[in-house]
């Protein structure tokens, strides 16, 4: 490997696949820092439900873009892209390697490929779509999205009307698929080389890891964390897996056990959407287990 060439090592994979552990091990091999690209680990107030690296993990390697904003802040992939590339410009003045790790494919792609400026949509279009949602329901909106933008339809959280409406309003206003704005191959001229790696265990192993992770989150206080944030449940940051299910428990819509099971189910669905996104990228070198992953870097 040419040590004069700056290199960004990308480590991706579905939730609970072991990315954090692997990133730390690789960081020790290359003596480098780590950038988190998990779109929920940015938020200071959300820790247990976002599976942030532990205090011990953070001591093992320098991490960036964790706890850097509040749930009250607006934070987009475009802002993340600008901030990370500004950081990289300075970091690479004195270092040759850095790792970016996470499961948020849009945020990682925004750093490397950039994103188009998404047009500002007139309020009346969103208002019309919100009224359609009230009158006809989310399934009707999903059918419209499927016909307008199949790529985004495949990866969107199909229980999140806000994201569905956002995509539809852009499609309707611009006459372009919403997904066409999200990433452009080699749009940004970077001064570093990018190597892509992925970790994805077999289905049974991943399901087991997801279930175990959720149980551990519950054991260390997930319900207490969510309860402390209930006054902010209207914020976009909290409309995510691990939080919305517990809000329903506090609303007495489901039992505690049902809430826990729903978190597991929705996390599995989220992991599928993550892999749908990552599988579009043919540059990623995939590994099934962590030992093969580490052996690759040690050889």
pLDDT of residue 162: 87
The percent of residues in the chain predicted with pLDDT above 90, rounded, is: 83
* Residue-wise pLDDT tens digits, 63-78: 999 999 999 998 888 8
Q: Is the pLDDT of residue 159 over 90?
A: no
Strand arrangement, sheet containing 193-199: 63-64, 33-36, 97-102, 7-12, 193-199, 285-287
Q: Is the pLDDT of residue 125 over 70?
A: yes
**Domains annotated on the chain, with CATH:** 7-116+184-201+276-298 (3.40.50.300), 123-181 (1.10.20.140), 205-272 (1.10.287.890)
Residues 207, 293 contacting (CB under 8 angstroms): no
pLDDT of residue 104: 94
pLDDT of residue 188: 61
Residue 294 CA from chain centroid, whole number: 23
pTM of the shown model? 0.88
Cα–Cα distance for residue pair 151/276, rounded to 1 Å: 9
pLDDT of residue 186: 58
């Amino acid at each position: 490997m040419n040590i004069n060439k700056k290199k960004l090592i990308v480590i991706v994979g579905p939730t609970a696949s072991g990315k954090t552990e692997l990133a730390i091990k690789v960081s020790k091999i290359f003596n480098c820092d780590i950038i988190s690209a998990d779109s929920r680990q940015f938020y200071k107030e959300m820790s247990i439900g976002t599976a942030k690296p532990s205090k011990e993990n953070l001591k093992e390697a320098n991490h960036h873009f964790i706890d850097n904003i509040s749930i009250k802040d607006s934070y987009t992939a475009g802002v993340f892209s600008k901030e990370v590339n500004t950081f990289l410009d300075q970091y690479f003045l004195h270092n040759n390697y850095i790792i970016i790790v996470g499961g948020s494919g849009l945020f990682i792609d925004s750093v490397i490929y950039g994103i188009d400026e998404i047009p500002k949509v007139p309020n009346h279009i969103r208002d019309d779509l919100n009224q359609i949602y009230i009158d006809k329901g989310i399934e009707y909106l999903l059918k419209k999205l499927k016909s307008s933008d199949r790529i985004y339809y495949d990866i969107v959280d199909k229980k999140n009307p806000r994201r569905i409406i956002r995509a539809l309003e852009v499609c309707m206003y611009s006459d372009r698929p919403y997904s066409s704005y999200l990433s452009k191959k080699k749009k940004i001229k970077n001064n570093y080389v990018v190597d892509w790696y992925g970790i994805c265990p077999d289905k049974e192993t991943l399901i087991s890891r997801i279930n175990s992770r959720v149980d551990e989150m519950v054991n260390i206080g997930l319900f207490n964390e969510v309860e402390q944030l209930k006054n902010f449940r209207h914020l976009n940051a909290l409309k995510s897996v691990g939080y919305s299910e517990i809000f329903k428990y506090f609303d007495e819509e489901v039992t505690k056990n049902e809430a826990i099971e729903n978190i597991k189910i929705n996390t599995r669905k989220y992991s599928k959407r993550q892999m749908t996104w990552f599988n579009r990228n043919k540059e990623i070198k995939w590994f099934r287990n962590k030992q093969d992953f580490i052996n690759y870097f040690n050889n």
